[in-house]
Each structure stands twice: as C-alpha cells, then as structure tokens.
C-alpha cells in the first residue's frame, strides 16, 4: 500500500523546504524520503490520479506558529521516526479509532495507522489516552509523533496542530458504515515530511479505495438496528447462561478466548444446540458430519461436544496461518473456518503474485470484496467474519461494563 508518485516530487520538494530551512538539513530530509521510496516506484506508478494537497483536510499552521518557525528550526517527527524505527501514536479508544478490551486490539483507525507504519518500514507503538485533548497535547509536547482521534477542528486549532481526516473528504464512505466521519490523524507541523507522506498515503486514488474497503469490514451498523440488537441480547440473557461453563472450559482446553467462541456460536446457531440447516449441519456450532467426525464429536446435538469440536477446528485453522501476525491471524482463522483454509491460501497466493502482502487481512478482505460478484462464497465469508467481529466487540464491551459497575 505504498502510494507516492513521481508526479508530486517537485511539489513535495517545495512543501518540504520552508524559506529559512538550512539547505543541508533540507537535503538530508529529502534524500531520506527518496531513498525510502525507491522500492515503491512500481506501485506508485499504478496510481491514476493524486488528490491535490490543497483538497485534503491538512490544516495550515496559524500565522503565529509560522512566525515562531522563522525564529527557530523545528524538529520533525519524521526524523525521529526513522531514527528510532518506531512510529509513536497517541490514540483514544473508540469504534472508529481502535478497539482494545481484554487484550483484543484492532479497529478501523488502528489498521490504517498500522498499514502506514508498515509503508514507512517502521514499528507501530500505540499509546492510549483517555480523551482527545490529552492525545493532542502529547503530540504538541513531542511525546508522540502523531495522534489518532476524532477531535474537532476547533480542538486542533487550539493546539496549533495540523490534521487530516482518514476519509480524505469522502465522509459518506465512513458514515454509511457507522463510523465517525471525522476520525483523523494529527501532526505538530503541516510541513513535517511525516504529515506530507501520510497525506499521499491516504489520499491517492488507490488509498481511498482501500480505506473504503477497510471501512466495510469495520462496519458498526449490525447491532444498531433494534431487531438485531434485541435478538442478540435475548440470546445472551436467556441462552448463554445454560452453556457458559462449556464455552469457558472448551476455550481453556484449546487456548481460545471464550467470548470468541460465544460470538461464533451466536453466528452459527444463535446459541441453539438443536439447530439444523437444510444442508444437514447441526448443533450449537453447526458442524458438518465430516468435520464432527474429524474433530472426534460423536453427538453434534450435545452442546459441550459441539463447542469442543468447533474450538478444536478453530485451533487447527489458527495453526495453518501461524505465520500471519495478530490480530489478522484471527480473521484468517475465522475465514478458513467458514470457507476452508485452501480457499484462503489461494487468495494469499494471488495477492503475492501481484506484489501484495498475502498476510494482510485488509488485502484478503479487499480481494474478496472486489471479486464478490463472481463468487458467492466470498460474500458469505465476509459476512461471517465481520459479524463475529461485531458480536465479539459487543460481548466484550458488555462484560467490561458489568465488571466496572
């Protein structure tokens, strides 16, 4: 997902060189960027059209701040990131930024930020703050290289920070998926190479397409409709207490998060141990005859056996994708649970043949989304993984709220 273009080299040079920036320092910064992006040329040439820098929500610094710049040379976060090989991000938890409850960390903003760090060839370090003001202050004080928040423009201006919306002006692609339209990255200086490369990364044609696909996966609308929400809550209140110990015990047996197994059970059967499909799969985890036999399940209607069979099979799927880093490995395992590991591995191979990272769930999901019209199994698989993610988040949030009372 590397998106710089030679068509913008001249313009980028001009952006990087304030009138009073020493030539030696400017030359060093520009050389670093050019060297870093040599290997990306082939990918960047595929970009059809770059969005003009003036058209994205990258705010200029106030006149007062520019006067300060003329009196002293700023320290750019880009230099620090490259020297430490780490992008430090101040973030505030939210359904559009990142989800982190009970050690389960992922999210729309998180995945985009992680992908940007990967494009720079550096590690991501996420530092959590309680509110937007604290996160922005951390950037202002140089305690973080950038921030991931849903802070308002007024809050940015109060701190004299530059910001860009992750939607790059296409807010409907976020709002249609129940995401906050103003989730953004913010930087200490608008002319910092870190901010400029970030704007290109997000806002070229390819970047905006990939952002829209990621927003589709992190859709937050599933449980916002009254019917689905009531049905889900009723199952947790009425059905789950009967099987919670089975979920917890089998999760422990196979080193899973027990709430993940609950989310899978709800997706499969709405926690109904007597469920039977027209194709003959049955039980709480809706196992096929062949899968049940392979997992040592003699009675698919028995809740404990069914949960154990599902847990054992999920464990095998995780092992097949052991080289995929977390949290993506979970999405790969769930997709394989639904569609079979060979189908997912074929997608990986296709992506790698195109020069893409086959171990990126964002890439695999985008591939299925692009080819959904030709393969109904992709549609089913995307819904399966996306729904379980949504159910798991809801279960964890409810559990967290119960414990804090």
Of these residues, 210, 268, 305, 393, which one is catalytic? 268
Whether 268 is a known active-site residue: answer yes
- What HEC string does the chain produce? CCCCCHHHHHHHHHHHCCCCCCHHHHHHHHHHHHHHHHHHHHHHCCCCCECCHHHCCCCCCCHHHHHHHHHCCCCCHHHHHHHHCEEEEEEECCCCCCEEECCEEECHHHHHHHHHHHHHCCEEEEEEECCHHHHHHHHHCCCCCEEEECCCHHHHHHCCCEEEECCCCCCHHHHCCCCCCCCEEEECCCCCHHHHHHHHHHHEHHHHHHHHHHHHHCCCCCCCCHHHHHHHHHHHHHCHHHHHHHHHHHHHHCCCCHHHHHHHHHHHHCCCCCCECCCCCECCCCECHHHHHHCCCCCCCCHHHHHHHHHHHHHHHHHHCCCCCCCHHHHHHHHHHHHCHHHHHHHHHHHHHCCCCCCCHHHHHHHHHHCHHHCHHHHHHHHHHHHHHHHHHHHHHHHHHHHHC
- Signed CA dihedral, 86, 393, 249, 293: sign only: negative
Q: Are strands 162-165 and 184-187 parallel, antiparallel or unpaired?
A: antiparallel
Annotated catalytic residues are 268
């Amino acid at each position: 997902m590397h998106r710089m273009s030679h068509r913008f080299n001249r313009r980028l040079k001009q952006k990087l060189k304030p009138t009073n920036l020493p030539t030696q320092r400017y030359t060093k910064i520009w050389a670093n960027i050019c060297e870093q992006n040599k290997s990306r040329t082939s990918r960047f040439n595929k970009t059809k059209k770059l969005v003009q820098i003036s058209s994205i929500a990258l705010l200029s610094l106030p006149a007062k701040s520019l006067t300060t710049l003329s009196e002293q040379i700023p320290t750019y976060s880009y230099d620090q990131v490259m020297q430490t090989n780490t992008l430090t991000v101040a973030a505030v938890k939210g359904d559009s930024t990142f989800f982190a409850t009970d050690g389960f960390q992922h999210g729309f903003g998180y995945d985009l930020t992680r992908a940007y760090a990967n494009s720079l060839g550096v590690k991501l370090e996420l530092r959590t703050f309680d509110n937007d003001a604290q996160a922005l202050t951390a950037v202002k004080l140089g305690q973080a290289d950038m921030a991931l928040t849903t802070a308002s423009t007024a809050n940015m201006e109060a701190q004299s920070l530059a910001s860009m919306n992750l939607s790059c002006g296409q807010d409907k692609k976020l709002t249609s998926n129940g995401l906050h339209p103003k989730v953004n990255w913010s930087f200490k200086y608008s002319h910092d190479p870190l901010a400029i490369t970030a704007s290109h990364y997000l806002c070229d044609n390819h970047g905006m397409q990939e952002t829209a696909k990621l927003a589709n996966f992190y859709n937050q609308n599933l449980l916002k409709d009254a019917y689905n929400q009531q049905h889900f809550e009723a199952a947790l209140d009425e059905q789950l207490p009967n099987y919670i110990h089975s979920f917890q015990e089998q999760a422990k047996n196979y080193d899973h998060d027990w709430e993940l197994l609950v989310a899978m059970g709800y997706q499969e059967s709405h926690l109904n141990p007597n469920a039977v499909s027209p194709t003959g799969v049955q039980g709480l985890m809706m196992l096929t005859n062949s899968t049940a036999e392979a997992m040592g399940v003699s009675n698919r209607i028995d809740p404990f056996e069914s949960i154990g069979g599902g847990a054992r099979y999920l464990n095998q799927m995780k092992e097949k994708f052991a080289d995929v880093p977390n949290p993506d490995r979970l999405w790969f395992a769930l997709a394989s649970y639904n569609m079979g590991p060979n189908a997912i591995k074929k997608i990986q191979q296709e992506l790698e043949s195109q020069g893409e990272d086959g171990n990126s769930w964002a890439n695999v999901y985008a591939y299925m989304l692009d080819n959904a019209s030709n393969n109904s199994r992709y549609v089913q698989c995307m819904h399966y993984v996306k729904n379980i993610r949504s159910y798991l988040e809801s279960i964890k949030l409810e559990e967290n709220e119960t414990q804090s009372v």
